[in-house]
Amino acid sequence: MKNTIANLIAVLALLFSHMVVAAVEPGSDYKLVEPAHPADGSQIEVVDFFSYACSHCFHLHQSMAQWSSAVPGDVRLTHLPVIFNSSWESMARMYHTLQSLGQADALHDEIYKEVHVRHLDLANQLSTKPSRLDFMQLLGVDPDKFTATYDSPDIERKLAEARKLQDHYQLRGTPTLVVDGKYMITGLTPDRTVQVLQEVIELARKSRAVAMPKAAVLAAAPVVAPPAAEPQPSPRLPAPRKQTKQPKVKQSRAMDLDLRHCLELESNAAIAKCAGE
């Protein structure tokens, strides 16, 4: 009886351990990129650094198939081939060419299967122009368009930009995922990589929310009109002063005062002459 109970407890513990997902830990599950290299735009970019020659990349590609088929709207998945040796350059050039032709995403899974299921030596297949075009015809790619793009300046530019990113992140192996230019995931099992990827995307969302520019917050806030100023009373002008009415002096009195000096003259003739003026 005791053995039965012990066995039951052991089975339950084992089941429970599979149900519990270990918490994501910085340093072991992912590391922070210094300095960060965030992509422009509002979406969180997940960059998948890969090579078609890498078997681990193929296994991760299979594990990410379900997630990548329903990428959240605020997330953008980008595949970027790396070049660790000269034999990988032709595979990277092929991918960028197909991307320029708008066919890379549709053929991504098929090329992986050609290499890791049907065991195609892709580097050797791409080493000469005739064998390269044979492979493109197998994939259903227009050989003329492929040839015109394969050695174009645009592809040279894309290869140079990819090398710069590869050097910036100091990549040492594939597959490596970089989320939002800040979080790097590498060296995990495929299933664990997908688990950590989803958690790290959530970290990136929270980080972006905290780092939202103040100007954007102010722009999103409703505009409130300032309160109308209270009408101020108009200044009161002093009442006009009443003009004092000057008393009229009677004309007769004024004349008396004016003729008074005539009476002081000595002769009547002089007085008469003064009064007649």
pLDDT tens-digit series, residues 234-269: 555 555 555 555 544 444 444 444 555 555 555 556
Instruction: State how many domains the chain has.
Output: 1
pLDDT at residue 130 in the model: 97
Establish if 249 belongs to a structural domain. Answer: no
Q: Give the residue ranges of the chain where pLDDT is below 70.
A: 1-22, 212-277
CATH number where 69 lies: 3.40.30.10
Establish if 231 belongs to a structural domain. Answer: no
pLDDT at residue 215 in the model: 44
* Cβ-Cβ contacts under 8 Å for 135 (sequence gap 6 or more): 125, 126
Quote the CA–CA distance of 39 and 33 in Å, as a whole number.
13
pLDDT at residue 23 in the model: 82
pLDDT at residue 210 in the model: 87
Establish if 18 belongs to a structural domain. Answer: no
Whether the CB-CB separation of 90 and 136 falls below 8 Å is answered with: no
β strands within the chain, DSSP E:
31-32, 44-50, 75-81, 176-179, 183-186
Establish if 36 belongs to a structural domain. Answer: yes
Other CB atoms closer than 10 Å to residue 201's CB: what's the count?
Answer: 19
Q: What is the pTM of this model?
A: 0.70
Domain containing residue 32 = 27-212
pLDDT at residue 17 in the model: 37
pLDDT tens-digit series, residues 140-180: 999 999 999 999 999 999 999 999 999 999 999 999 999 99
Establish if 144 belongs to a structural domain. Answer: yes
Structure tokens at 187: 């060296």
pLDDT at residue 159 in the model: 97
Cα–Cα distances (Å) from 6 to 12, 16, 20, 49, 145, in that order, read 10, 15, 21, 47, 68
pLDDT at residue 19 in the model: 37
Quote the CA–CA distance of 163 and 47 in Å, as a whole number.
14
Establish if 37 belongs to a structural domain. Answer: yes
